[in-house]
């Protein structure tokens, strides 16, 4: 049985004092859940988040990283730097980074490899645009993105990679994919993984849905056969709302 994994993606929001307050509140609200709870916070909040989340069931992640270990890359953060302060997760290839910061399937793949090298668990995002969906290319786009992201990883690394299926048209728009559509897309991704890495690996990989997940729709989405939780943007900024998403099965 796969676990449900609910990750918040704060994007460029929240200051350290807000981070501390939020995690103190959230930790009380989610302490009894069996679901995995992750918060992916801005770099400047990481240290505060890690300290506040100590002795709770909340795990902390970053939202991006460079693929190199070190070097002349002004303004960048390496996987080793994240690992050194005990960050456990890192989002890779979010559509906002693909769209605004030239993230490509190639850099996503490099980042996945270097995350695994230091033992960071990547949450890699894939998803189609509205245009691609309307042209009937969803399945092609997401299976190709998945294959390129995972290229060269071994089975164990694939199993330890979380995939977030995030249709781009559903991010921050209030529009969600129907639970059936999201489930179908996720099944396609799982099939692609099975084709390359075998059925057992495919059955073990956590594949989340992301795009306008709220407490109102979480239960319906996360109860589908292949949807193993969610990557939550806007609705993760409020501790109470996010706790309801985490506790969707209560
Ligand atoms: P949203 O964002 O929940 O605000 O749509 C999801 C994401 O970008 O990961």
Evaluated on CA atoms 199, 160, 168, 103, the torsion sign reads negative
- Cβ–ligand 1 contact at 138 (below 6 Å): no
Give the model's pLDDT for residue 17. Answer: 98
The pTM of the full predicted model, rounded to 2 decimals, is 0.97
Per-residue exposure over 225-239, b if at least 16 CB sit within 10 Å of its own CB, e if not: ebbbbbbbbbbbbeb
- Cβ–ligand 1 contact at 234 (below 6 Å): yes
> Mutual orientation of helices 138-150 and 179-197 as an angle, nearest 10°?
40
For 173-202, write each residue's pLDDT tens digit: 988 889 999 999 999 999 999 999 999 999
Give the model's pLDDT for residue 147. Answer: 98
Strand partners, 59: 38
- Cβ–ligand 1 contact at 9 (below 6 Å): yes
The CB density around residue 35, as the number of other CB atoms within 10 Å, is 19
| Residue stretches of the chain with pLDDT short of 70 | none
The CB density around residue 189, as the number of other CB atoms within 10 Å, is 22
Catalytic: 66?
no
User: What are the C-alpha distances in Å from 109 to residues 21, 46, 119?
Assistant: 35, 24, 15
Cα of 210 to ligand 1 centre, how many Å? 6
Give the model's pLDDT for residue 174. Answer: 87
3-class secondary-structure state, position 227 = coil
Cα of 144 to ligand 1 centre, how many Å? 22
Q: Which of 41, 95, 172, 209 to mutate to test the pocket of ligand 1 (most atoms within 8 A of CB)?
A: 172
For 157-169, write each residue's pLDDT tens digit: 999 999 999 999 9
């Amino acid at each position: 049985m796969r676990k449900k994994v609910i990750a918040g993606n704060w994007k460029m929001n929240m200051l350290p004092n807000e981070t501390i307050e939020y995690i103190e509140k959230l930790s009380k609200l989610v302490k009894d859940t069996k679901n995995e709870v992750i918060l992916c916070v801005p770099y400047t909040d990481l240290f505060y988040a890690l300290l506040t989340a100590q002795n709770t069931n909340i795990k902390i992640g970053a939202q991006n990283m460079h693929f190199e270990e070190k070097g002349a890359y002004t303004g960048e953060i390496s996987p080793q730097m994240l690992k050194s302060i005990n960050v456990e997760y890192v989002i890779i290839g979010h559509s906002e980074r693909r769209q605004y910061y030239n993230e490509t399937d190639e850099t996503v793949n490099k980042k996945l490899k270097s995350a695994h090298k230091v033992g960071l668990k990547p949450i890699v995002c894939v998803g189609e645009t509205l245009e691609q969906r309307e042209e009937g290319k969803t399945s092609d786009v997401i299976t190709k993105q998945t294959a390129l992201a995972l290229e060269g990883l071994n089975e164990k690394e694939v199993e330890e990679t979380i995939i977030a299926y995030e249709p781009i048209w559903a991010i921050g728009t209030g529009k969600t994919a129907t639970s059936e559509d999201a489930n179908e897309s996720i099944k396609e991704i799982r099939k692609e993984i099975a084709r390359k890495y075998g059925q057992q690996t495919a059955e073990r990989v956590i594949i989340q849905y992301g795009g306008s997940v709220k407490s109102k729709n979480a239960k319906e989405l996360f109860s589908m056969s292949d949807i193993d939780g969610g990557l939550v943007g806007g609705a993760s900024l409020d501790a109470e709302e996010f706790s309801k998403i985490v506790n969707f099965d209560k």
